[in-house]
């Protein structure tokens, strides 16, 4: 009788493992993260070079911003709601890294938000599709 009980327990355990392995949750399988993009950006008075960037929704983006100007700068990505979504402050002669993953398609303005810099033309655009 003990041998029979052991066989039943083993069968139930095997059945449970098979069911767990075969169940997919009924929904779509999650997609692998999109491959990231890295952009090297140079900040000077009063421009970002390059000043246009393209990426996909959910694609991790890394900006490596080098300040070759004579004054400090910022690199601010504005969200679709008009609020600051990500920001890096870059001292003269320094390089900073900023990571951002857009969650929706649209155009994300990028500005230097220090007094007068945006008005002087220190802007860029991230277009996300």
pLDDT in tens, 61-86: 999 999 999 999 999 999 999 999 99
More confident residue, 109 or 12: 109
Q: Is residue 124 part of a domain?
A: yes
35 pLDDT band, cuts 50/70/90, is: confident
What CATH code is carried by the domain that includes residue 120? Answer: 2.60.40.420
Count structural domains, the chain.
1
Q: Is the pTM of this model over 0.75?
A: no
**Going by C-beta distance under 8 Å and a sequence separation of 6 or more, which residues neighbour residue 81?**
none
Q: Is residue 26 part of a domain?
A: no
Q: Is residue 30 part of a domain?
A: no
Q: Is residue 82 part of a domain?
A: yes
Q: Is residue 7 part of a domain?
A: no
Q: Is residue 27 part of a domain?
A: no
Taking alpha carbons only, the member of 114, 115, 112 closest to residue 123 is 112
Q: How far is the C-alpha of 69 from the C-alpha of 47, rounded, in Å? A: 9
Residue 4, pLDDT score: 52
Question: Residue 83, Cα to own-chain centre: how many angstroms?
Answer: 17
**Full domain range(s) for residue 76:** 37-128
Q: Is residue 58 part of a domain?
A: yes
Per-residue model confidence as pLDDT tens digits over 11-21: 444 444 434 44
């Amino acid at each position: 009788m003990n041998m029979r009980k052991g066989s039943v327990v083993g069968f139930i355990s095997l059945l449970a493992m098979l069911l767990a392995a075969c169940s997919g949750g009924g929904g779509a399988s999650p997609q692998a993260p999109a491959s990231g993009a890295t952009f090297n950006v140079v900040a000077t008075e009063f421009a970002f070079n390059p000043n246009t960037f393209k990426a996909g929704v959910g694609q991790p983006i890394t900006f490596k911003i080098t300040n070759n100007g004579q004054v400090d700068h910022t690199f601010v990505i504005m969200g679709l709601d008009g609020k600051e979504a990500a920001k890096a402050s870059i001292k003269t002669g320094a390089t900073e890294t900023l990571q951002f993953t857009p969650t929706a398609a649209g155009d994300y303005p990028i500005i230097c938000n220090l007094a007068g810099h945006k008005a002087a033309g220190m802007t860029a655009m991230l277009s996300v599709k």
